[in-house]
Structure 1
């Protein structure tokens, strides 16, 4: 199984899409002999799906198509050499995956056929067991449906532990601690911007373009920051390796 679970799509507004992961993504595409990809665009609410596909084509150096260019969304996944799931609104994305019959289609593609999966932000969220640690608003439905479950631990993308002056609401740390208090058997990996987890050949690696840490939230334990992915070894079935 090959997974790229990225916190965000850009490191700056004018930066190419997924630029901070280009070395690893291009190496995977070359290694697997991939010539095309299918973009799952349903998290995008105010953007253009075709434009995002063209942008990805430029970024990845391969043809990227949207499901509407196939006989059906399921047919698109069944024919995919690479599955790319865009960021946007996680609630809408997860609901659309269920409505279009793509949950099982993507699970089979990734687990049984070995099709690589690349997801950022919302696309990262839906790769975990559920979307309960997304930062997004439930604009479409408040029902928490199961997600893809390709990765066994909850992830919080776009993690930020800065304190904004004048903000009187809960911090991200407090919200994630609340999640763990309500779900004490679960853990949350908090990924900062420009960082990602990569699963390949049953190995897990962590990358940060800025050399920053990730945080691990677990009920009853102090919040800990790590650079070393070995900290996740008790939580994942993959062999943890340095980047």
Structure 2
């Protein structure tokens, strides 16, 4: 199984989409001889799906087609050499994955056919067991359905531990600690911008283009700042560097 779980898509408005992860993504594409990819753009609410596909074609150097360009969404995934799941609104994305029959289709493609999965922001969230640690608003009145469960631990993308002056609400740390208090058997990996997790051949690696840490939240334990995946060893079935 090969997963790229990215906190975000860009580091700046004028930066290429997935640009900060291009060395690793290009190496994987070249090693596998991938010529095309299927984009699942359901999370995008106000943007243009085809424009996003075109951006990815330029960034990755391969043909990228939207899932709706195929006869059915399931047929698109069954033919995919590479699956891309865009950022946007996680609630809408997860609901559309269920309504389109893509939960099982993507699980089978990744687990049985070893099709690589690249998800950023919302696309990262839905790769975990559930979307309960998303930052997004539930824009539809939908229940919290299970997500893809490709990665066994909850992730909080776009993690920021800054406390804005004058803000009297809970910080991100407090919200994630609340999640762990309500769900004491679950943990949360908080990924900063410009960072991602890579699962390859049963091995888990962490990358940060800025050399920053990620945070690990567990009930009854101090928040742990980590720069490698060793702390995740008890939580994931993959070898850690």
TM range (shorter): over 0.9
Superposed counterparts of 1:97-116, under 5 Å: 97-116=97-116
Aligned mates of 1:199, 1:96 — CA distance in 2 = 25
List structure 1 segments (4+ residues) > 6 angstroms apart after TM superposition: none
- 1:136 aligns to 2:136 (yes or no): yes
Aligned to 2:146: 146
Gaps of 5+ in 2: none
- 1:92–1:141 contact (8 Å) kept in structure 2: no
- 1:44–1:89 contact (8 Å) kept in structure 2: yes
Moved more, 71-80 or 134-143: 134-143
3-state SS of 1:103 partner? helix
TM-score (norm 2): 0.99
- 2:190–2:214 contact (8 Å) kept in structure 1: yes
- 1:70–1:76 contact (8 Å) kept in structure 2: yes
Aligned mates of 2:43, 2:68 — CA distance in 1 = 15
Q: CA deviation at 1:142?
A: 3.7
Q: CA deviation at 1:27?
A: 0.2
Aligned mates of 1:206, 1:147 — CA distance in 2 = 22
CA displacement, residues 15-59 of structure 1 (integer Å, 9 cap, x when unaligned): 000111000000000011100000000000000000000000000
TM-score (norm 1): 0.99
Aligned to 2:86: 86
Q: CA deviation at 1:228?
A: 1.6
Aligned to 2:206: 206
